[in-house]
């Protein structure tokens, strides 16, 4: 099983700065999701900035979430 997210910071350029439970840090680019279904709402920068960690992944208030494995495997590690 891949590490889960323990901290998230949403940036102004639709990226998520992530800290994983194994201590690694990564950046996940959400810009490719902004035209897809429920993720269109993330185009609103104020809404995007409301990202938070819940149960090891990243979620937003209207129930958008990202697979924790995708966040780990597709993030650019720092």
pLDDT tens digits for range 1-56: 899 999 999 999 999 999 999 999 999 999 999 999 999 999 999 999 999 999 99
Please state which of the four CATH numbers 3.30.2020.10, 3.40.50.10540, 3.50.50.60, 3.30.470.20 is assigned to the domain occupying 5-77. 3.30.2020.10
Q: Hey, what are 8's tokens?
A: 């998230």
pTM higher than the cut 0.75: yes
pLDDT computed for residue 24 by the predictor: 98
pLDDT computed for residue 50 by the predictor: 98
pLDDT computed for residue 1 by the predictor: 84
Length of the chain: 78
């Amino acid at each position: 099983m891949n590490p889960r997210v323990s901290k998230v910071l949403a940036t102004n350029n639709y990226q998520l700065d992530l800290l994983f439970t194994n201590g690694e840090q990564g950046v996940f680019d959400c810009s490719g999701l902004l035209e897809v279904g429920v993720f269109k709402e993330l185009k609103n920068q104020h809404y995007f900035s409301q990202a938070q960690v819940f149960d090891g992944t990243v979620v937003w208030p209207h129930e958008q979430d990202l697979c924790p494995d995708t966040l780990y495997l597709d993030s650019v590690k720092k």
